[in-house]
Structure 1
Amino acid sequence: MDYFFIEEDRASGYTGDVNATHKWLLPGISDCPGCKATWGGGSKAYPSVDLTPVAALADFEEPRAEPFEEYERLRELVLPLLPPGALLEPGVGFGPLVGRAQGRFGPLVSPVPWWLLAQREALEKLQAEGLRGLKGCATQLRFRQRNAPELFELELLPVGRAHPDCLPSNRKPPCPRCGRHGLTRPDDKDLLLDASTLPGHLDLFRLEDFSTAIVCTERFVEACERLGLDGVTFHRLVSA
């Protein structure tokens, strides 16, 4: 099975712009007791997760960094609500994308490298192809135009990892407390996938260790080409 990296097609001529954030988010960590880092990832998101059952909902509405103990307390509150296969890290988003959008959008939309959106018709066509793991979640985007598209965010589970051969040889192991590995993702042309970690049940996912990378199978690419769904480009990745 061949795999591909997905990114916005800047030459497509579409003018769509999205300025939004997820409705809720897990705070970042301030001064981790393991690695001393203050950080929050933010590229992982679970738009299908509804946090309204959580009593302390206000604790998930403002982006900020918290001490590790408070981060762990809040993390425990959302764990029971996650879909199977979800992983948590500081800064994870939940719920729909909320914000503004304008312009002309293609069938597929990647306003930032770690989000993939689809217009309703495109999503329905892809699901009808029998592609695995396509969960579309409604957005709450406000448009300043008539005939605004109905955009859905695709929920991307983190699975699969980069092969060690494309990573620095002097890299340190992830922090045992917060999980931070502090590595910069290799350039697209240098990104090598670890074949032993790739899923056999998903045609679309994000990498676990570099969650800004959206990856799809050859089946997904062929379906998009056959259906004429544009707005993004596909770059073949090597796995070993």
Structure 2
Amino acid sequence: MTRFFWLREDSTVQAHTNGSLNAAHKWGLPGLAGCPGCGETWASSGHQYPAVDLSVLPEQSAFLKARPEPFTEFSRLRELVRPLAPPGALLPPGTTFGPLVGTASGRFGSFAWLGSSLLLIRHEELERLREEGIRGLLGARTELRFRQKDAPELLELQLDPRGQLHADCMPPDLPPRCATCGRLGFRRPDEPILDAASLPVDVDLFRVGNFATMIVGTERFMETVRRLELDGVSFRELPTH
């Protein structure tokens, strides 16, 4: 039976890395202002498609500024993007696209994080993982301006939301998902449990479908990272039901 591990930043690497990032994705869907179904104004986190290029859209300027929009305008813009996004992508309010644009400085390990849910990797380490047979790794280019000459080539990993947290770790009084905007509002459980029947069998690294800020890897991924002595990530095993 496959074991699964929650990936987070490894703070112990700070002794030999001091990398710093100040960047954001080039494009994004607006947030939603006052959903006609649930009344919420919101935008998602964790839905990021850095390999999706919106420059081909005549209205690409509509995706440059983060702001809330009424449901009708949000839906219109989402439908413009949908043909360019991966098949089946949910594309909630606040979904971002295109390369990370910004500045970077300092020394980076094998993996680097922007916030707690955006994962980057050195190009050469991505190739090593692929050579080891790790599945589902899509590295997207970045547009980071480094302040030093010996800058690493950092790629952002595009990770599709797959699988689900199990109902056993959810609040018992959790309201149903909004039928209009798809919002399911809850905080991350202190003790997450994965729904075994929902977990993918064709990739070794993915985001959790109903809590996309959580990045999960298979036991195969964890063991390969440790064997290759790649740094920058820590692993916490998650139970499955």
Identify which of 154, 177, 182 aligns with 2:180: 177
Identify which of 139, 142, 147 aligns with 1:144: 147
Shift of 1:116: 1.0
Shift of 1:118: 0.4
- One-letter code aligned to 1:56: E
1:108 paired with 2:111, answer yes
Deviations 1:175-213 (CA, angstroms, capped at 9, x unpaired): 1100111101112xx000000110011100001110110
1-structure distance, mates of 2:149, 2:55: 31
Residue 165 of structure 1 aligns to a residue whose secondary structure is: helix
Deviations 1:152-183 (CA, angstroms, capped at 9, x unpaired): 00000001110001011011101110011110
Identify which of 120, 124, 136 aligns with 1:121: 124
2:102 match: 99
2-structure distance, mates of 1:85, 1:200: 17
1-structure distance, mates of 2:238, 2:106: 31
Residue 87 of structure 2 aligns to a residue whose secondary structure is: coil
Checking the alignment, whether the CA contact within 8 Å between 1:113 and 1:214 is kept in structure 2 is: no
Runs of 4+ aligned residues of structure 1 deviating over 4 Å after TM superposition are none
Shift of 1:111: 2.4
Checking the alignment, whether the CA contact within 8 Å between 2:28 and 2:95 is kept in structure 1 is: yes
Structure 1: runs of 5 or more not aligned = none
Shift of 1:85: 4.4
1-structure distance, mates of 2:21, 2:50: 16
1:215 match: 216
Identity %: 51
1:8 paired with 2:22, answer no
1:165 paired with 2:168, answer yes
Checking the alignment, whether the CA contact within 8 Å between 1:28 and 1:90 is kept in structure 2 is: yes
2-structure distance, mates of 1:69, 1:182: 21
1-structure distance, mates of 2:151, 2:29: 31
1:198 match: 199
Show the 5 A alignment for 1:47-66.
47-66=50-69
Residue 36 of structure 2 aligns to a residue whose secondary structure is: coil
1:233 match: 234
Cα RMSD, aligned residues only: 0.9
1:68 match: 71
Identify which of 10, 15, 31 aligns with 1:28: 31
Checking the alignment, whether the CA contact within 8 Å between 2:195 and 2:240 is kept in structure 1 is: yes
Deviations 1:75-130 (CA, angstroms, capped at 9, x unpaired): 00000001234321000000001111111100111222211110011101001111
Residues matched between the structures, number: 238
2-structure distance, mates of 1:76, 1:85: 13
Residue 161 of structure 2 aligns to a residue whose secondary structure is: coil
1:38 match: 41
Residue 107 of structure 2 aligns to a residue whose secondary structure is: coil
